Homo-oligomer: A and B are copies of this chain.
């Protein structure tokens, strides 16, 4: 599965943004807290190869879900399109122990509150990232090998409809957090 995704800094007036989202038909589907522990590899530097490996903890109300996620290098110059593989796991401490036994090391933890909207086949998220700021992400999943241009058009059209024409951000929260 390929995740075609474009992120932008959120405008200051987020209430107005939410109203615009509702106006174009986006449906609020949930709110969750995410805690991502990122690992780097012993045999290559993910900061150089533009890959990511993380353990994600998702809390929604009383339920907690755990995932391993791998992200490959970004595949074009404008979006964050990349290979993404995510799999549910039963215990995050054991996965961290396995990663560290394999000489992968934890490098940073990203914590955020995420509100999720659906609009047709797009997922739109509003993120409040601790220590980094507020962002909008619009994402569409396509099959490997499928053309990304159509998805990108749809994403940028939607950004335009909610009044966001600039402030796009290709760097990950991890990269933004690590800036001096």
Contacts and interface: CB of A to CB of B under 8 A. Distances in A.
A87 B90 contact: yes
Given A72-B101, A101-B72, A89 B86 contact: no
Contacts of A43: 41-43, 103
How many copies of this chain does one complex carry?
Answer: 2
A72 B100 CA distance: 12
Interface residues of A, number: 24
A88 to B, nearest CB: 4
Contact of A85 (B42, B87, B101): B101
Interface stretch (A29-37, A91-99, A157-165): A91-99
B68 A95 contact: yes
B98 A68 contact: yes
